[in-house]
Amino acid sequence: MNKVFGYARVSTADQNLDTQIDALTKAGCEQIFQEKITGISTSRPALDEMLSLLRPGDTVIVARFFRLGRNRDHLITLVSALTQQGVIFKALDLGIDTGSISGKLVINLFAALAEYDRESILEKTRAGQLLARQKGKHCGRPAGINEENFKKVKMAYEKGFSVAETVELTKISESTVKRYRKLIQ
Give me the half-sphere count of Cα atoms (radius 13 Å) on the Cβ side of residue 184.
20
Catalytic residue among 11, 102, 162, 175: 11
H or E element that contains 58: none
pLDDT at 42: 67
pLDDT at 13: 56
Beta strands in the chain (DSSP E): 4-10, 31-36, 59-62, 88-91, 96-97
Q: Are the CB atoms for 179 and 142 separated by under 8 Å?
A: no
156: amino acid identity, one letter = A
pLDDT at 27: 96
CATH code, residues 4-111: 3.40.50.1390
Mean per-residue pLDDT, 77-98: 92
pLDDT at 118: 84
Summarize pLDDT for 123-166 with one digit per residue, the tens: 998 898 888 888 888 777 666 888 999 999 999 999 999 999 99
82: amino acid identity, one letter = L
pLDDT at 114: 79
H or E element that contains 65: none
pLDDT at 112: 86
Q: Are the CB atoms for 7 and 66 separated by under 8 Å?
A: no
Burial of 130 (0-12, 13-18, 19+ CB in 10 A): exposed
Q: What is the end-to-end Cα distance of the chain in Å, rounded?
A: 68
Q: Tell me, yes or no, if 11 is annotated catalytic.
A: yes
| Domain residue limits, the chain | 4-111, 147-184
Mean per-residue pLDDT, 12-25: 84
According to DSSP, the β-strands at 88-91 and 96-97 are antiparallel
**Residue 103's CB: how many other CB atoms inside 10 A?**
20
Cα dist from 109 to 69, 106, 114, 116, 172, whole Å: 17, 5, 9, 10, 49
What does the DSSP assignment read for 156-182? HHHTT--HHHHHHHH---HHHHHHHHH
Q: Is the dihedral of CA 47, 49, 50, 51 positive or negative?
A: positive
Summarize pLDDT for 27-80 with one digit per residue, the tens: 999 999 999 876 566 678 999 999 999 999 999 999 998 888 878 888 888 998
Q: Are the CB atoms for 16 and 41 separated by under 8 Å?
A: no
